[in-house]
């Protein structure tokens, strides 16, 4: 009876799941730490170089072993901490193959990361950049969207081979097609919000609820200034952040 209950609800799967949503105030970036509390194996999504010591403190405090530091895309606004985490913990880095960035694992749609009993599925969601990936933790209905989908918004499409029409298709086919109660965790939020759901975004996203032609017009007229750190971030993130990093050994 109890076993049937846990099979139906996924309770066994989630009872020892460790999850931390960590924030970098400067770039408004969310870094996600996921782990299996049983095996202690962990993954970090979208670390920020200045926050690596915080991430390591979290991992050590929870007694976790970091297997992978993975990126949703080549970020334009901050330098990734994935290379630094590799240097400090021995984990593997990962980034989309089509981005042509360096990383231990050059990944794409259909690839998977396993940590303990959990599996993160890789989906290609290009449009904000050509190499944007979304990570789906199906068992727990949690999705890490990078900048493809932001809460009540989406990533800009005016650089890094961005394309509004491509982004629209990516998001509708690969994210908003998931069950309505799926939780969506973005790479950034500029208004203090932390999480949304597929159902909410299908109803309330002011851009993505429009027809594709109107969406493209909206995206073509955002008029956003370029991220302040774009010139530093792009070359650094092509090598997982290990670029002109001062060595203090
Ligand atoms: N002001 C910030 C950059 C803000 C920005 O451009 N954010 C990106 C995501 S980081 S590539 C974006 O896609 N925003 C979409 C939006 O609608 O806000 C800075 O200078 O770093
Ligand atoms: Fe981005």
8-20: burial string, b at 16+ Cβ within 10 Å, e else = eeeeebeeebbee
Q: Which ligand is nearest to the CA of 73?
A: 2
Whether residue 152 contacts residue 204, with contact meaning beta carbons closer than 8 Å, is answered with: yes
Compute the C-alpha angle 183/186/187, nearest 5°: 150
Q: What is the pTM of this model?
A: 0.94
Instruction: Tell the residue nearest (CA) to atom 6 of ligand 1.
Output: 227
Q: Does the Cβ of 224 fall within 6 Å of ligand 1? A: yes
In the chain, what is the straight-line distance between the N-terminal and C-terminal CA atoms, in Å? 57
Q: Does the Cβ of 78 fall within 6 Å of ligand 1? A: no
ipTM: 0.99
Taking only the tens place, the pLDDT of each residue in 191-209 is 999 999 999 999 999 999 9
Query: Rounded to whole angstroms, how far apart are CA atoms 36 and 43?
Result: 9
**Which residue blocks in the chain are alpha helix, DSSP H?**
2-9, 11-15, 52-61, 82-89, 164-174, 198-204, 212-220, 230-237
Q: Does the Cβ of 167 fall within 6 Å of ligand 1? A: no
Residue matched to tokens 């200045």:
50
233 Cα–ligand 1 center, Å: 13
Tens digit of each residue's pLDDT, the chain (249 residues): 444 444 444 445 668 999 999 999 999 999 999 999 999 999 999 999 999 999 999 999 999 999 999 999 999 999 999 999 999 999 999 999 999 999 999 999 999 999 999 999 999 999 999 999 999 999 999 999 999 999 999 999 999 999 999 999 999 999 999 999 999 999 999 999 999 999 999 999 999 999 999 999 999 999 999 999 999 999 999 999 998 765 555
Instruction: Tell the residue nearest (CA) to atom 3 of ligand 1.
Output: 227
């Amino acid at each position: 009876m109890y076993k049937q209950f846990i099979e139906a609800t996924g309770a066994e799967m989630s009872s020892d799941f460790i999850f931390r949503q960590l924030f970098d105030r400067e770039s408004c970036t969310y870094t996600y730490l996921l782990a299996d509390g049983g095996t202690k194996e962990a993954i970090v999504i979208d670390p920020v170089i200045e926050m690596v010591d915080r991430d390591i403190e979290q991992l050590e405090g929870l007694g976790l072993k970091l297997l992978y530091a993975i990126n949703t895309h080549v970020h334009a606004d901050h330098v990734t901490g994935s290379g630094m985490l590799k240097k400090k913990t021995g984990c593997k880095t990962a980034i989309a193959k089509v981005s042509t960035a360096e990383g231990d694992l050059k990944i794409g749609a259909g690839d998977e990361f396993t940590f303990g009993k959990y599996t993160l599925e890789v989906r290609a969601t290009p449009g904000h950049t050509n190499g944007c990936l979304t990570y789906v933790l199906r068992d727990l209905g949690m999705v890490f969207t990078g900048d493809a989908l932001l809460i009540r918004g989406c990533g800009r499409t005016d650089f890094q081979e961005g394309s509004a029409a491509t982004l629209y298709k990516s998001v509708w086919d690969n994210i908003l097609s998931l069950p309505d109660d799926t939780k969506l965790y973005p790479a950034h939020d500029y208004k203090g919000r932390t999480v949304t759901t597929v159902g909410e975004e299908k109803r309330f996203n002011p851009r993505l609820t429009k027809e594709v032609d109107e969406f493209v017009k909206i995206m073509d007229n955002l008029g956003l200034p370029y991220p302040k750190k774009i010139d530093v971030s792009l070359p650094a993130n092509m090598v997982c952040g290990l670029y002109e990093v001062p060595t203090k050994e």
